[in-house]
Chain A
Amino acid sequence: MATYEVFLKKDGKDEYRHAGALDAANDELALVMARETYIRRAEGNRVWVVNREHLLMAGDDFISPNADKPHRHHDGAAVAARRKAAREADSSEAGNDE
């Protein structure tokens, strides 16, 4: 017996989503079990079934070095402020014309 993780996707824009896990004796039975356990009512058009042993997993310890990278973001605040000021200047000019 091995534990498998099941991922489902409906046709269209959605991404694959984790549905849950199951125990099965082999890969072939895992697919059948996935259908009978998780896809009885058109919950997906495609399925991925992955033996848990083959999943590579990591958590915060591994990911956290990337948490402190402000240079990978830009809030655009200064540009937004300039645009806003320009819009306000425009509309007050328009107001003066009346």
Chain B
Amino acid sequence: MGRTWQDMEAFEAFLDDGGIVEVDDHMPDEYRHAVFTFIEMHANSEYMGGLTERDWIPKTPGLRHKMSVLAKTQDEIGHGHLLYMVAADMGIKTRTEMIEDLMAGRSRFHNVFHYKAETWGDQVAIAFLVDAAALASQQAVFKNCSYGPYRRILKRIISEEGFHMRLGEDRMRRIAEGTQIQKDIFQGALDRWFWPALQLFGPDSKPDDKLLRWHIKSERNEVLRDKWVQKFVPMMHSYGFVVPASDLAYDEDTKKWDVGPIDWEPLKKTLAQGGPDSARRIREARDNWEATAWARRCLDGAAV
């Protein structure tokens, strides 16, 4: 079963024509590996994001908020699960292998989950800035993604991510309408999260970016990043907060915000598991994985 292409040229012509690849197609190895690595990193990030969210369940103020943090945690772990299923079907690593690699620090997850969320304000900033950035990247993949199973599962993930973003903005609204202490806490969180969220889009796409050539991504990193800046800078201003970019400038002619030069060093560090909170995050994820081994053993025992 599945289709075969004579060579890479024929395969790329198929993709350029809007062709969608299915799991049992005989896709070129480079494509299979590139798509797999991309989905694996996405899955890892959802999983690590879910764990960050979980950290805040006991500390979330108010029952309603606590319930929505529970819901969001379940969503994020669920996103990880959906993506691990899609990735595992590609036949490169099993889900267990992917999780073990993640716990051993051998595979990557997004930069934003290498930082510490210090206050409830950080959780709000994450839901508002990071979920929005993740949503924008996912939408750009969904739009045109040539790998069918990934595209279809993204549809569901994106609709849930929208809930997170709306939740984030509403929490920010409450804080903006709150006391000075609340506002100060949130400004501190924005100062910590603005740059990591912006760096989530990555440095400018290279001209030979395979993910663009193979229609996995539909938009260049710098274009997505700029759209995010144009949307979120005015929004932060409208809620009365300061954008922590010392070179922030508005161009009257182009009607665009410019955040100035971006330091990519912090991003590089996180990709090498050297972010400010990487070691703790990975260690706690591993401890959690080991502490819940009994549940997986019970499930295995229930297998017929």
Could you say which residues of chain A place their CB within 8 Å of the CB of B2?
59
Q: Shortest Cβ distance from A21 into chain B, in angstroms?
A: 5
A10 to B24 Cα, complex, angstroms: 29
Q: Which of B71, B160, B300 contacts A1 (CB 8 A)?
A: B300
Is B303's CB within 8 Å of the partner chain A?
Answer: yes
> Nearest Cβ in chain B — how far from A53, in angstroms?
12
Q: Which residues of A contact B304 (CB under 8 A)?
A: 25-27
A20 touches B156 (CB 8 A): yes
Contact status A20-B302, CB under 8 Å? no
Residues of chain B with a CB closer than 8 A to A59's CB: 1-2, 24
Report the contact-size class of chain B (Cβ under 8 Å from the partner): 20 to 34
Considering the complex, which residues of chain B in the window 233-288 have a beta carbon less than 8 Å from any beta carbon of chain A? none
A22 within 8 A of B: yes
In Å, the complex CA distance between A29 and B299 comes to 9
Give the residue among A18, A23, A26, A40 with the most B Cβ atoms within 10 A: A23
Distance to closest chain B CB from A94 (angstroms)? 46
- The one of A18, A22, A40, A61 that contacts B85, using a Cβ cutoff of 8 Å: A22
The smallest C-beta distance from A6 to any residue of chain B, in angstroms, reads 10
Does chain B have a CB within 8 A of A58?
yes
Question: B59: CB under 8 A from chain A?
Answer: no
CB-defined A-B contacts under 8 Å, sample of 30: A2-B303, A3-B85, A19-B156, A20-B82, A20-B152, A20-B153, A20-B156, A21-B85, A21-B86, A21-B89, A22-B85, A23-B85, A23-B95, A25-B300, A25-B301, A25-B302, A26-B303, A26-B304, A36-B74, A37-B78, A38-B156, A40-B74, A41-B160, A43-B156, A57-B1, A58-B1, A59-B1, A60-B1, A60-B3, A62-B1
Given contacts A25-B302, A40-B78, 15 further A-B pairs with CB under 8 A are A1-B303, A20-B86, A22-B81, A25-B299, A25-B300, A25-B301, A26-B303, A27-B304, A38-B156, A40-B71, A57-B1, A59-B1, A59-B2, A61-B1, A62-B1
